Structures are given as C-alpha cells and as structure tokens.
Amino acid sequence: MALRRRWRMLFIGACAVAFTGVAMASYRAYSYMEHDPRFCTSCHLMEDAYNRFRRSAHARITCHDCHKATRAEQLHQLTQVIFENPTDVKRHAHVPNERCATCHVEGDPARWRQIAATAGHRIHLESTDSALRGIECVRCHSANLHEFAPVSRTCGQAGCHTNATIRLGAMSQVELHCTTCHQFLAEAPGLAVDSLGRPLTPHARQCLSCHQMRERLAELDIGRDPHRGVCGDCHNPHTQRTAQEITCATSQCHVGWRQVSFHVGVPHPEQCSRCHEPHSWRVDGQNCIRCHRNILNEWRRARVLGAEAPSPIRAEATLH
C-alpha cells in the first residue's frame, strides 16, 4: 500500500514537472512568436523585411507593437504561407494612425507638436480636400517596406502627385527628392490652411543649393529682389521645359502692367524679358538697343546733315 502511494506521488510529481516544462516551453514559444522579431525570419519571405527593420529607427520595438493581427488573421497568414507558397510579402496587420500615435504623439507630445506645426504635415493632415481626408502615416512613411524615412518616390506613390514629374532643363536629367526643393518641414504654426502652399514654394535658398545655379545667379541680391527670392513664383519645373517660359503678364503677380504707359503699344508686350533682364528689377538702357538698333544711326545721320535729331519727347508732345 505504501509502495503504491509512493509510485502515485512520483507519477503525480512527474506529471507536474512535465506539465510545468511543457507550460514553460509553450510560453517561451508563444513569447518568441509574439514578441521576438527574429521569429519572422523563420519565413524566407521576411528576410529582406527583417533586415530593413533592424536598420530602421524602430529596431528596438517588436513587430506586434505596430502589427496587431487577430487570431483569425494570424491563422489566415499561416495557411496562406503553407498552401499558397507566396513569393512576396502580402499586406497584413495594417498599421492605423492610432498605432503610430501611441509612441509619436502620446509618447512624446512636445516633439509631436513641433512636427505637426510644419507646413508639409499641416497641409496633409488639416486640409479640407477630400483626397487628403483620413490620410495615413504609413502612406508616406512606409513607401518601401520597413523604411520609414520618405524616399525619392514617396510623393508619387499610392496615387499621390503622380503627374509631378520634373521637366525643366537639366533638372529633368537627375533624380531629385521632392524635399530638395519643397521644404516639407518648414515651420508654419500660425498660417491658415489655405496659405500653407507659400512655405512649400521653392525659395532661392533651395535653388541655390545647386552649384550650377550658384554660378548662374552669382550677382543675385536676394535682399533687394522684389520677388523676395521665391523662384517658384516664376519658374515651375513641373510644367516648364525651359527657364524662358515665364508668364509674368498673365500671372496674378503683375496684373497692373497695362497701367504703365511705357508698356502700351510695345511690340510683344507679354515678353517681359525682352526689356527686363531676368533676375533683375530694372530696365538697363542697353536693353533698349536690342530692339532699337538703328536709333543711334538716325541720331548720327541727323548731326552730319545739320538737322535736328528726332526727339521722342517732342514727338510725343505733337500728338496732343
């Protein structure tokens, strides 16, 4: 009887140890699958995604901090891998803005206030445009899988800014990040939403960051420039192919140009650059000679003949 009881206790103890071992192993396996990003590499499809994740700023968090799939979704992913043998990573466990806000808004509110006040973020998050309503963080910050810093193709992906190709001159021959010209992070805390395009319009500071433009505009005095050095007011690299395609007369800037009497009757009046030197705001007297090449010859011939030289002032007076 005592021997049977002893064997029973040993059996119960062995079962308890076995159960504890299985429970601990199961918990460790569960914890590994749920919280250790290395588990994802057990699927060959995730190797590239995991390597990108390790290089990103999110390397210290777990997959499920962002990707929270239901048990049904997890089971679907498992059966999909087993039976369909996919060759690339399918969309799964979508990351909504609320998930990003957990760390980037609630976790660091001061930093978020600074980010949310920038022109680029405000025009996307506060715009009344229906196309921007409900825009998600990952649309810009994950154009490439697990690469959260926007890349050169970010603005043109997912149906956004698809027609914003660069056509102007040599700029069309190089690959430029949109933020090279458009200052997405320009501070704009007090601007109205409909005025947020102003700080995003390229300024001379962006254009002169190109060494070629520094050479071409070496004499440009931005401090005295009546255009305030806002190159984008005249030049649009997305619609113009040459720098000469300027529409000063038809733009909303120089609407009163016809009120200047000197402009009335001038041939080709809308070609402002015929008289006004580009990137200057004064008409140099030498500019007139470009068109009026024979006027000096008339003055010289009049002096030789002893006649009175034609005076534009007197000629104008005779008209009244």
Tens digit of each residue's pLDDT (9 = 90 or more) over 147-163: 888 877 778 765 688 77
pLDDT (tens digit per residue) in 108-167? 999 999 999 999 999 888 888 887 777 889 888 887 778 888 877 778 765 688 778 888
pLDDT (tens digit per residue) in 53-82? 888 888 888 888 888 888 888 888 878 877
pLDDT band at 307 (very low <50, low <70, confident <90, very high): low
- Find the helix or strand (DSSP H, E) in which 2 lies: helix 2-35
Burial of 231 (0-12, 13-18, 19+ CB in 10 A): buried
Burial 16-46 (b: 16+ CB within 10 A, else e): eeeeeeeeeeeeeeeeeeeeebebbeeeebb
Average pLDDT over residues 76-97: 81
pLDDT band at 1 (very low <50, low <70, confident <90, very high): low
- By three-state DSSP, how is residue 121 classified? helix
Return the half-sphere exposure (C-beta side, CA atoms, 13 A cut-off) of residue 287. Answer: 12
DSSP for 168-221?
Answer: SGGGGGS---HHHHS-TT-B-SSS-GGGTHHHHS--HHHHTTSHHHHHHTTT--
Which pLDDT does position 318 carry in this prediction? 38
Distance CA 128, CA 220 (A): 38
Distance CA 220, CA 200 (A): 22
Q: Tell me: pLDDT of 313 over 50.
A: no
User: What is the value of pTM for the model shown?
Assistant: 0.65
Tokens 């395009």 belong to which residue? 197
Which pLDDT does position 266 carry in this prediction? 63
